[in-house]
A and B are shown apart, each in its own frame.
Chain A
Amino acid sequence: MSDDSFEPKIVGFLCNWCSYRAADLAGTARISHAPNVRIIRVMCSGRVDPTFVLKALSLGADGVMIAGCHPGECHYIEQNYKAMRRYYMLQHTLKAMGVEEQRVQLVWASAAEGQQLADAIDKLVADVKALGPLGWSKNWAENGDRIRALEDIVNEHKEALEVPR
Chain B
Amino acid sequence: MSKTENMAATEAAEAKSKGKLAIYWAASCGGCEISTLGIDTKILDLAAAFDIVFCPCITDGKTRDVEKMADGEIDVCLFNGGIRTSENEYMAQLLRRKSKVLVAFGSCATEGCIPGLANLHDRKSIFDNTYQETCSTDNEAGVRPQSVTQVPEGDLHLPVFYDTLRTLDQTVKVDYYLPGCPPESDRIWEAIEAIMAGQLPPPGSVIGSNTTVCDFCNRTRSEKKIKEFKRTWEVIPDPDTCLLEQGLVCCGPATRAGCGCLCPQVNSPCIGCYGPPGDAQDFGARLMSALASVIDSNDPREIQAIIERGIPDPVGTFYRFSLAGSLLRRGKRPEAENGHGQQAATGGAS
* Touch between chains A and B, by CB atoms below 8 Å: yes
Mark A residues whose CB is within 8 Å of B.
49-51, 54-55, 57-58, 71, 78, 81-82, 84-86, 88-90, 92-93, 96-99, 135-144, 146, 149-150, 152-154, 156-157, 162-163, 165
A-B contact pairs, 23 of them (CB 8 A): A50-B282, A54-B328, A84-B298, A86-B292, A89-B307, A92-B304, A92-B308, A93-B284, A93-B318, A93-B328, A98-B331, A136-B330, A140-B163, A141-B333, A142-B164, A144-B339, A150-B86, A152-B147, A152-B148, A153-B87, A156-B155, A157-B63, A157-B67
How many chain B residues have a CB neighbour from A under 8 Å?
62
Q: Do A138 and B333 have beta carbons less than 8 Å apart?
A: yes
Q: Do B303 and A99 have beta carbons less than 8 Å apart?
A: no
Partner of B330, one of A89, A140, A146, A162: A140
Mark B residues whose CB is within 8 Å of A.
60, 62-65, 67, 86-87, 89-90, 93, 119-120, 123, 147-148, 155, 157, 159-160, 162-164, 280-282, 284-286, 288-289, 291-293, 295, 297-298, 300, 303-304, 307-308, 311, 313-315, 318-319, 326-336, 338-340
Q: Supply 10 further A-B pairs (C-beta < 8 A) apart from A51-B281, A98-B330, A143-B339.
A: A50-B289, A51-B280, A78-B298, A85-B297, A97-B120, A97-B330, A136-B330, A143-B336, A144-B339, A157-B64
Q: Do B327 and A165 have beta carbons less than 8 Å apart?
A: no
Residues on A with beta carbons closer than 8 Å to the beta carbon of B304 = 88, 92
**Secondary structure call for the B interface:** mixed
For residue A57, give the distance in angstroms from its CB to the closest CB of chain B. Answer: 7
For residue B349, give the distance in angstroms from its CB to the closest CB of chain A. Answer: 16
Residues on A with beta carbons closer than 8 Å to the beta carbon of B147 = 149, 152
Chain A, Cβ-Cβ closest to B308:
A92
Q: Do A137 and B285 have beta carbons less than 8 Å apart?
A: no
- Bound complex: CA A154 to CA B162 (Å): 18
Asked whether A58 and B327 contact (CB < 8 A) given A71-B298, A93-B315, the answer is: yes
Question: Which of B93, B314, B315 has the largest count of A CB atoms less than 10 A from its CB?
Answer: B314
For residue B296, give the distance in angstroms from its CB to the closest CB of chain A. Answer: 10
Residues on A with beta carbons closer than 8 Å to the beta carbon of B65 = 165
Q: Do A84 and B285 have beta carbons less than 8 Å apart?
A: no
Asked whether A54 and B315 contact (CB < 8 A) given A143-B336, A150-B93, the answer is: no
Chain B, Cβ-Cβ closest to A85:
B292
Q: Do B300 and A136 have beta carbons less than 8 Å apart?
A: no
Asked whether A82 and B293 contact (CB < 8 A) given A96-B314, A142-B163, A150-B89, the answer is: yes
Asked whether A88 and B307 contact (CB < 8 A) given A142-B164, A150-B89, A165-B65, the answer is: yes
Q: Which 10 A/B pairs are nearest by Cβ-Cβ distance?
A: A98-B331, A149-B86, A50-B285, A54-B327, A85-B292, A136-B329, A51-B285, A93-B314, A139-B330, A149-B160
